[in-house]
């Protein structure tokens, strides 16, 4: 759980998150609660236990040491990863906390999951961890099979091609390149050769070799912090200030009124307003010599404040993409891997066909993206780097996917999410002077609400912290 | 070893590379040869052994499978990482090859080094591999000590601050940000607060929040392929074509005549020409509203063709940096970690003070950069992402550094490099109709030469391949 701009309170993100501990007092009212709180990992603690204030003296001492080496302004706790287990994180001071933040939503099975620890008892796997290859040129003999038994197993419907990368930013950066290349190849009438002028001009960063394409992104979006990604990120000034950027189109993302069922007309109007501006911006940038090669969107704006949009919004956005020729990229770096109760959040939207590109990282352990076949570059080495990901992360992912299936963790995320959502809904009705804009119904544990004021939000979070809930 | 633009033949990069197998016939002439060819890993093969043509039928079959999943135009071999050992790579067809390319120069100790395999027999290390944290917020209690016993042990003189990242591109992207932030902070007179106009404008990618800074890079440079990095990369069109870029200054990098001792005057003039244009370009971009916040340079242009420049060139470049206020970043992603016979290639240049930033990745196993203290951002979260590297790579690096020290591998790289260099020098004298522009004397195994024509270069490489030398 974490606090963002405005008055937001994020809630649990992990498959194995335990709703009841968060909803506290209302637990007893939920019929599904008992089932949802059964531990999925043996010997997992049953409740938080604080020994010191948080941060405690050991964290403060380590912070002093680390700050002598690197800028540490974002460090909040030092963690004892040896002792952490399941949903419970143990910090350097021995405090046991319920972790509903799960390493910025990147730990799919919690801490020290026994099945994951076990993969390193296989000497073959040890060799995968030690011999990191240049995957784009010298993959292991087992690599095609490794992909088939991991990433391809959970590929979004209609996207049977993929590319691995090391992290979320690299996934988006390279997926953006795939969209530029596709857009330019279409402009060439699917010819795959280059003119001498293109070859020469690209070497000095000039058109026509480096065309002046743009990407459309949304207000409140987060897509990473490398230069291309950062030009499409608009969630907080601290990410962007002092860093040069690009004049690219930025459309409004729907901000709904809640509860949804009481604001159907206004929210429909909000969809219309945002979509209209989106299409207008694409036409505007196309005609000003900065053709929009792609639309980049999160299925839920996570870093930017858990902003949800309707299925109709995404369906219509896809139509805009088709009308304008700008590819549609859905960034599932934060939403992918199961926390919404489906492997991919965009599966909730009933799109008539697959988006063109879906990027992932975090809970998938490896970065990368799925694409339609026509988005594969027509030549090698165009999307390439030394490592192109890391097979050891794919070995881990394969095991994670096996456990998700075996233990029905997608069902668990749905059921746990429902318990959590209903619990907070009850609290919202009981304490309307504290809780507002509860959102995320039917989206697994991807649930958030606003405090009525920043001060009240901070008070809620402060009290949760005192009870050992780590955000 | 690999072939690049022009007629280049790259040679061995690894600490443990075995010069004699490459220089072949001239081995017997080298007094140091016997010592340099003693195996550093028990049971390492003593020579290549080819069972099929390369690529063989198994590689071809795997390629067909992989190409059904992802674009595979850059894949040259499938590798049996279980059976590869030391300098010898075994491919999917059972061919044993002397690997002088070492996974694009990213395997510091060769394949399956026993000391590296051994670290995973420690259950504590297994937990580090399995529980990847969000390092920028929740590092392990052991993290400050982990950094002190690894990256800080080999920090370039004068650079005692650092930041870890996942890969080379992310290292450069974020180091670039550190330079922008420093440049802007200086412009603010070291004030650390922002105006409302800056806060608002940065959210829509506009100045003054997103200033129109540029970076100066060099013709032939390679710094990575994400958008910021790619704007400073100018080695091959295939990296850049169809990808939008930025109008930033690009200066000429010295291209020397060889042998150096016969062209002292011309090469000095070449330095002068390049430096003059560098400084002119900085003034030009400063005055056209695109202030140059940093100079980005490799100590040896590797991907761009193994272009070396003199110590005097780098010393004077640092003076230009100081006169113009553009920070100096030395990109040691490919050169760092020991292959030049020193841990950092720029140590060969006798700079009067440290460069402002040194980036690394590849043989360091973790990405990241070293910086002067004033290049630490004045606030947290400004240089940040979910993972900020991976502690498991730092655990591996610590072991690599221990082995480098224990086995005197920097000395080994120097001695092996000398043997290799002298062997090729003899060949160059004997076969001037084939070999030209031998370079890299005194730079460990970082050695290259040109074929007289592309056809002759390809013939040399083809013959080496038939003898089981993998490039």
Q: Which residue of A has its CA nearest to B194?
A: A241
Domains and CATH numbers, chain B: 8-115+452-470 (no CATH), 133-389 (3.40.640.10)
Between β-strands A357-360 and A327-331, what pairing exists: parallel, antiparallel or unpaired? parallel
* Residues of A in Cβ contact (< 8 Å) with B152: 69
Q: Decide if A15 contacts A341 (C-beta within 8 A).
A: no
Q: What is the DSSP letter of A142?
A: T
For chain B, what is the mean pLDDT?
Answer: 92
Interchain contact, B241 vs A194, CB within 8 Å: yes
Question: What strand order describes the sheet that includes B88-90?
Answer: B88-90, B96-99, B469-470
Interchain contact, B238 vs A382, CB within 8 Å: yes
How far apart CA B466 and CA B468 sit, in angstroms, is 5
Residue B22, pLDDT above cutoff 50:
no
A257-300 per-position pLDDT tens digit: 999 999 999 999 999 999 999 999 999 999 999 999 999 999 99
Q: Which residue of A has its CA nearest to B152?
A: A69
Residue B3, pLDDT above cutoff 70:
no
**What contacts B196, CB < 8 A, 6 or more positions away?**
none
Q: Which residue of B has its CA nearest to A147?
A: B69
Q: In a 3-state reduction of DSSP, which class is residue B415?
A: helix
Interchain contact, A240 vs B176, CB within 8 Å: no
CA angle A422, A424, A427 (to 5 degrees): 115
pLDDT for the residue B40 = 83
Residue B15, pLDDT above cutoff 70:
no
Residue B32, pLDDT above cutoff 80:
no
How far apart CA B84 and CA B49 sit, in angstroms, is 12
* Residues of A in Cβ contact (< 8 Å) with B75: 136-139, 380
pLDDT for the residue A105 = 93
Of residues B76, B247, B384, nearest to A138 (C-beta): B76
The mean pLDDT value for A333-353 works out to: 98
Q: Long-range contact list for B198-202, CB < 8 A, 24+ apart?
A: B198/A237, B198/A241, B199/A237, B199/A241, B202/A237, B202/A240, B202/A241, B202/A242, B202/A243, B202/A245
- Alpha-carbon distance values, A277 to A232, A286, A320 (Å): 16, 14, 11
Interchain contact, A170 vs B168, CB within 8 Å: no
- Helix segments in A188-226, DSSP class H: 196-202
Please say if B284 is a catalytic residue: no
Interchain contact, B78 vs A385, CB within 8 Å: no
CA-CA-CA-CA dihedral for B458, B463, B465, B471, to nearest 10: -40
B471 pLDDT band, cuts 50/70/90, is: confident
Residue B28, pLDDT above cutoff 50:
no
* Residues of A in Cβ contact (< 8 Å) with B143: 62, 66, 78
How far apart CA B107 and CA B85 sit, in angstroms, is 12
> How many C-alpha atoms does B233 have within 13 Å on its Cβ side?
27
pLDDT for the residue B220 = 98
Q: Decide if A209 contacts B240 (C-beta within 8 A).
A: yes
B37 pLDDT band, cuts 50/70/90, is: low
pLDDT for the residue B232 = 98
B232-291 per-position pLDDT tens digit: 999 999 999 999 999 999 999 999 999 999 999 999 999 999 999 999 999 999 999 999
Interchain contact, B241 vs A198, CB within 8 Å: yes
How far apart CA B343 and CA B363 sit, in angstroms, is 11
The mean pLDDT value for B4-33 works out to: 39
The CA distance from B60 to the nearest CA of chain A, in Å, is 11
The CA distance from A236 to the nearest CA of chain B, in Å, is 7
Of B222, B313, B446, B449, which one is the catalytic site residue?
B222
Q: Which residue of B has its CA nearest to A223?
A: B385
CA angle B85, B88, B92 (to 5 degrees): 90
> How many C-alpha atoms does B42 have within 13 Å on its Cβ side?
2
Residue A174, pLDDT above cutoff 90:
yes
B9 pLDDT band, cuts 50/70/90, is: low
Residue A4, pLDDT above cutoff 60:
no
The CA distance from B330 to the nearest CA of chain A, in Å, is 19
**What contacts B142, CB < 8 A, 6 or more positions away?**
none
Minimum mean pLDDT range among A100-109, A449-458, B7-16: B7-16
Q: What spatial distance separates the first Cα and last Cα of chain B, rounded to whole Å?
A: 4
> How many C-alpha atoms does A241 have within 13 Å on its Cβ side?
20
The mean pLDDT value for A145-150 works out to: 98
Q: Decide if A163 contacts A369 (C-beta within 8 A).
A: yes
Please say if A324 is a catalytic residue: no
pLDDT for the residue A15 = 47
Residue A117, pLDDT above cutoff 70:
yes
B438 class by beta-carbon count within 10 Å (0-12 exposed, 13-18 middle, 19+ buried): buried
Residue B52, pLDDT above cutoff 90:
yes
Of B46, B142, B195, B386, which one is the catalytic site residue?
B386
Residue A447, pLDDT above cutoff 60:
yes
Residue B27, pLDDT above cutoff 80:
no
A227 pLDDT band, cuts 50/70/90, is: very high
Residue B24, pLDDT above cutoff 60:
no
Interchain contact, B202 vs A104, CB within 8 Å: no
B350-367 per-position pLDDT tens digit: 999 999 999 999 999 999
B35 pLDDT band, cuts 50/70/90, is: very low
* Residues of A in Cβ contact (< 8 Å) with B120: 120, 126, 129-130
- Helix segments in B134-251, DSSP class H: 143-148, 168-187, 196-202, 227-230, 237-240
Interchain contact, A106 vs B75, CB within 8 Å: no
Of residues B127, B164, B361, nearest to A81 (C-beta): B127
The mean pLDDT value for B290-310 works out to: 97
A387 pLDDT band, cuts 50/70/90, is: very high
**In percent, how much of chain B has pLDDT > 90?**
91
Residue found under tokens 């000590």 = B145
A207-217 per-position pLDDT tens digit: 999 999 999 99
The mean pLDDT value for B433-453 works out to: 95
Comparing A151 with A10, the larger pLDDT belongs to A151
B26 pLDDT band, cuts 50/70/90, is: very low
- Helix segments in A97-250, DSSP class H: 102-105, 114-118, 123-130, 143-148, 168-187, 196-202, 227-230, 237-240
Of A362, A363, A393, A422, which one is the catalytic site residue?
A362
Q: In a 3-state reduction of DSSP, which class is residue B139?
A: coil
Chain centre to alpha carbon of residue B115: 24
Please say if B386 is a catalytic residue: yes
Interchain contact, A147 vs B66, CB within 8 Å: yes
Interchain contact, A386 vs B204, CB within 8 Å: no
The mean pLDDT value for A376-380 works out to: 96
pLDDT for the residue A471 = 84
pLDDT for the residue B2 = 32
Of residues B74, B148, B170, nearest to A380 (C-beta): B74
pLDDT for the residue A65 = 98
Chain B interface disruption, residue of A243, A296, A391, most B CBs within 10 A: A243
């Amino acid at each position: 759980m974490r606090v963002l701009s405005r008055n937001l309170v994020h809630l649990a993100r992990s498959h194995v998150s335990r709703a009841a501990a968060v909803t506290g007092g209302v637990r007893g009212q939920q019929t599904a609660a008992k089932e949802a709180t059964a531990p999925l990992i043996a010997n997992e603690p049953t409740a938080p236990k604080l020994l010191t204030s948080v941060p405690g003296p050991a964290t403060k001492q380590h912070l002093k040491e680390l700050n002598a080496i690197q800028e540490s302004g974002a460090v909040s706790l030092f963690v004892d990863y040896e002792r952490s287990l399941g949903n419970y994180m143990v910090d350097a001071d021995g405090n046991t906390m319920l972790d509903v933040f799960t390493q910025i939503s990147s730990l799919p099975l919690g801490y020290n999951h026994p099945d994951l620890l076990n993969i390193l008892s296989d000497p073959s796997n040890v060799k995968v961890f030690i011999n990191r290859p240049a995957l784009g040129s010298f993959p292991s003999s087992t690599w095609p099979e490794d992909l088939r038994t991991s990433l391809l197993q959970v590929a979004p419907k209609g996207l049977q091609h993929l590319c691995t990368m090391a992290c979320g930013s690299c996934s988006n950066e390279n997926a953006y390149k795939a969209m530029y290349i596709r857009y330019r190849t279409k402009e060439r009438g699917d010819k795959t050769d280059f003119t001498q002028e293109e070859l020469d001009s690209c070497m000095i960063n000039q058109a026509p070799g480096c065309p002046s394409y743009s990407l459309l992104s949304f207000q409140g979006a987060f897509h990473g912090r490398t230069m291309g990604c950062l030009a499409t990120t608009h969630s907080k000034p601290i990410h962007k200030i002092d860093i040069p950027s690009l004049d690219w189109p930025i459309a409004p993302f729907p901000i709904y009124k809640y509860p949804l069922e009481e604001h159907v007309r206004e929210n429909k109007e909000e969809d219309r307003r945002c979509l209209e501006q989106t299409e207008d911006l694409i036409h505007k940038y196309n005609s000003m010599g900065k053709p929009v090669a792609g639309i980049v969107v999160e299925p839920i704006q996570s870093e930017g404040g858990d902003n949800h949009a309707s299925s109709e919004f995404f369906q219509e956005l896809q139509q805009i993409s088709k009308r304008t020729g700008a590819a549609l990229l859905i960034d599932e770096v934060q939403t992918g891997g199961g926390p919404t109760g489906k492997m991919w959040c965009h599966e909730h939207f009933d799109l008539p066909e697959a988006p063109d590109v879906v990027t992932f990282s975090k809970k998938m352990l490896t970065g990368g993206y799925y694409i339609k076949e026509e988005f594969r570059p027509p030549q090698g080495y165009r999307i390439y780097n030394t490592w192109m990901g890391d097979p050891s992360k794919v070995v881990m992912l394969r095991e994670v996917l096996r456990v998700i299936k075996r233990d029905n963790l997608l069902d668990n995320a749905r059921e746990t999410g429902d318990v959590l959502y209903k619990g907070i809904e009850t609290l919202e009705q009981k304490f309307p002077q504290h809780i507002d804009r509860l959102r995320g119904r039917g989206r697994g544990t991807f649930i958030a609400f606003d405090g009525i004021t920043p001060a009240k939000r901070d008070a809620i979070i402060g009290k949760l912290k005192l009870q050992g809930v780590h955000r």
